[in-house]
Structure 1
Amino acid sequence: MNTTVEVLGFAREPAWLPWAVTYFFLIGISTSAFFLSLPGLAWRHPDWRSVSRRALLVALVCGLAGPVALLADLHQPGRFLNFYLHPNVGSWMAWGAFFIPIYMFGLFLYAWLCLRPQLAALAKNGDKFSGLYRALAYGGHDNPGAIKAAALVGSIGAALILLYTGMEVMVVQARALWHSPVLPLLFLVTALSGGLGMTGLFEAVSGNKEAAPLLNRWLVRSQWATLLLLVVWGLLGASGLSSAAAQALAAMQGEFSWWVTGAWLMGSTLLTLWLASSRRHTLVLPALFALQGAWLVRWIVLMVSQSLPKMGATTPRYFLTLTPDGLLGIVGMVGLCLTIYIVLTSLIPWDDRAEV
């Protein structure tokens, strides 16, 4: 008796490109850095003074660059405008178009109120930018109440950003690796790791090593949380309590590349944890590995997961190319962040020291 087996395969281009990874990475860092700025600038804890000022700089740099990557991912500004012309209240992605302006408005208002006294002091120097500083200072007096009010607006916007970036991926049932309640939490804790890492890197560039123990203490906590969430996801899949996680694990078992990817993720998380706990006075290495971990999680979830077939037997592969939608775009976003950093640090000193 002859049996005929028909194997179907559907070849598709990846729906999500590295622009999306870059946006999720930068906006996550910006929002988490915004929260790191609150203890020193809004609540006036002296031991957080330097860390919070540097975190505000991180929030501004990544907050200004992140939406550019989002617009590039949409390929034309008209698509972003369409969210406002034809709002879809049932879509988390559509809600993001409203959450982003709330966060950006709160961030800029908060940063301006925090920097006003310094701008007024710079206006008295008599250099060529004195007129600009005087106009931006708008009186220059410190207003703690207004800063806290702006911090509240920014916090609401940042929380909504963190919520929607996790939920818009999690609600996609067609992707087994995405459809898990663990995913928004994983994006949240790795965004915190990235914010701590970028703040630590900015502190290292400025030569301020006194902030290392404080940043590394929080980095240790974020890495423990990341490990816990990864273990929970694995247990949910292995036990069958989550059908999506079980389906993703089943699809991964026959692929050696997935074993390598999983080992890399767990190994880099453990290495970051070890560096942050054993080298408490070191900034650069823990910061770089924390940023690598935050990027890796988003790359695996958004790009590598698209190699898991949604139907049929075809396993599509994505290869990073030297194009604007690939490596060139990533390098360009790094250059944009560096440009924003140079402009902000050239106009305003950010060299307050932490009292850790």
Structure 2
Amino acid sequence: MNHPVEILGFAREAAWLPWAVQYFFLIGISTAAFFLSLPGLVWRLPAWQGIGRRALLAALVCGLTAPVALLADLHQPGRFLNFYLHPNLGSWMAWGSFFIPLYLIGLLLYAWLCLRPQLAALAERGGQLSALYRRLAYGGHDSPGAIRAAAVVGALGALLILLYTGMEVMVVEARPLWHTPLLPLLFAVSAVSGGLGMVGLFEALIGQGAAAPLINRWQERSQWLTLGLLAAWLLLAVSGLAASPADALAAMRGSLGWLLSAAWLLGTTALTLWLARSRRDVLLWPALLALHGAWLVRWMVFMGGQNMPKMGASTHIYALSLSPDSVLGIVGMAGLCLTVYIILTSIIPWDDRAEA
């Protein structure tokens, strides 16, 4: 007796667009760069003081632009305001609406306290912006205690940001690629590698190459951790010890796109590791590859995870297009980051001579 088998397929557009990839990428880099600034600006370690300045710059550039991508992903400001008007404390996304202001307030206060002495020095030099520098400096005193207090607020906000950005994706049980405890760890570790990459890029742009060995040493460690987490996920998927990784791997089988994407991720990660380990004095290429890897992880998780069917048998391929939600949005966010970088570096010098 023949039994008919019905295969269902439901066509859906991606709910989380590339705006989400950019937000998670930028906010992760900002929090990682904030932590990288602490050894030089809070603990005053000589080897980290120059790196701390560029790390603070990276934290500000990415931290100030990331909320723009988040608001664009929500499509209208009213949706963001709804988190405060009708808070759902059972949702990680709703908690994120409180963690983001906490982190940004702590970051801006911390940055202002760290930069006050330099702003006062710039005011003393005179010039067209001397009055503005004098007002911003507000006396220009170096206040280590206040800097430490602001750093505690910023660190708390940064830790909560790293926690919620991983958890709000991990809790989605319907997406097998997302529902794994390794995902928050992978987001955090790749954010650190991306933060190191952004700091290394700024070091290269400003012409400060002396810190390359220290940055690459930490970059090497972050790449080893990334490879370890990817290997752990693959082990869980192949062994069947965890259902979601096994389901995700089953959905990937037979897909040339997933095979090429995985090979590219592993290859670029290994290349970043090799450059950071064997070319200690090189800044630019390890930095760019680390940034690419951090972005690629989020693209594969968000866009690739939505390609896998939640129910039925059909996949849902996302294709880039020349629209504000796609390529134009990605280019626009890159332009916004560049604009904020130009503004900050035009107003305040960030090299080691300025610190001296």
The TM-score with structure 2 as length reference comes to 0.98
**1:4: Cα distance to partner?**
2.1
**Paired residues for 1:11-26 under 5 Å:** 11-26=11-26
**1:3: Cα distance to partner?**
3.5
Q: Identify the residue that residue 266 of structure 2 maps to in structure 1.
A: 266
**Paired residues for 1:138-177 under 5 Å:** 138-177=138-177
**1:298: Cα distance to partner?**
0.1
Q: Identify the residue that residue 134 of structure 1 maps to in structure 2.
A: 134
CA distance in 1, matches of 2:43, 2:8: 60
Q: Identify the residue that residue 248 of structure 2 maps to in structure 1.
A: 248
1:72 aligns with 2:72: yes
CA distance in 1, matches of 2:3, 2:141: 83
Alignment check: 8 A CA contact 1:50 1:353 kept: no
Letter of the 1:111 counterpart: A
Q: Identify the residue that residue 231 of structure 1 maps to in structure 2.
A: 231
**Paired residues for 1:240-319 under 5 Å:** 240-319=240-319
Residue range with higher mean Cα deviation, 259-268 or 176-185: 259-268
Alignment check: 8 A CA contact 1:210 1:353 kept: no
**1:180: Cα distance to partner?**
0.2
Letter of the 1:145 counterpart: G
Residue aligned with 1:209, SS? coil
CA distance in 2, matches of 1:179, 1:5: 29
Letter of the 2:349 counterpart: P
**1:353: Cα distance to partner?**
6.5
Q: Pick closer, same or farther for the CA change 1:250–1:353 going to 2, 3 Å.
A: farther
Deviation digits for residues 285-333 of structure 1 (CA, Å, limit 9, x no counterpart): 0000000000000000000121111111111100011110000000000
**1:5: Cα distance to partner?**
2.0
**Paired residues for 1:172-191 under 5 Å:** 172-191=172-191
Deviation digits for residues 221-247 of structure 1 (CA, Å, limit 9, x no counterpart): 000000000000111111111100111
Alignment check: 8 A CA contact 1:33 1:55 kept: yes
Residue aligned with 1:167, SS? helix
Letter of the 2:88 counterpart: N
CA distance in 1, matches of 2:317, 2:308: 9
Deviation digits for residues 3-56 of structure 1 (CA, Å, limit 9, x no counterpart): 422111100000110000000000000000000000000000010011010000
**Paired residues for 1:67-106 under 5 Å:** 67-106=67-106
Letter of the 1:236 counterpart: L
Identity %: 72
CA distance in 2, matches of 1:216, 1:177: 30
CA distance in 2, matches of 1:198, 1:215: 11
The TM-score with structure 1 as length reference comes to 0.98
CA distance in 2, matches of 1:158, 1:246: 32
CA distance in 2, matches of 1:161, 1:69: 15
Q: Which runs of 5+ in 2 are unaligned?
A: none
Residue range with higher mean Cα deviation, 247-256 or 335-344: 247-256
Letter of the 2:276 counterpart: A
Deviation digits for residues 162-192 of structure 1 (CA, Å, limit 9, x no counterpart): 0000000000000000000000000000000
Letter of the 1:351 counterpart: D
**1:2: Cα distance to partner?**
3.7
**1:352: Cα distance to partner?**
1.0
CA distance in 2, matches of 1:33, 1:66: 14
1:107 aligns with 2:107: yes
Letter of the 1:338 counterpart: L
Alignment check: 8 A CA contact 1:103 1:161 kept: yes
Deviation digits for residues 97-138 of structure 1 (CA, Å, limit 9, x no counterpart): 000000000000000000000000000111010100000000
CA distance in 2, matches of 1:268, 1:242: 27
Q: Which runs of 5+ in 1 are unaligned?
A: none
CA distance in 2, matches of 1:122, 1:163: 38
**Paired residues for 1:211-222 under 5 Å:** 211-222=211-222
Alignment check: 8 A CA contact 1:237 1:246 kept: yes
1:60 aligns with 2:64: no
CA distance in 2, matches of 1:2, 1:240: 33
**1:261: Cα distance to partner?**
1.1
Residue aligned with 1:215, SS? helix
Alignment check: 8 A CA contact 1:208 1:353 kept: no
CA distance in 2, matches of 1:3, 1:156: 59
Alignment check: 8 A CA contact 1:224 1:273 kept: yes
Residue aligned with 1:303, SS? helix
Q: Identify the residue that residue 346 of structure 1 maps to in structure 2.
A: 346
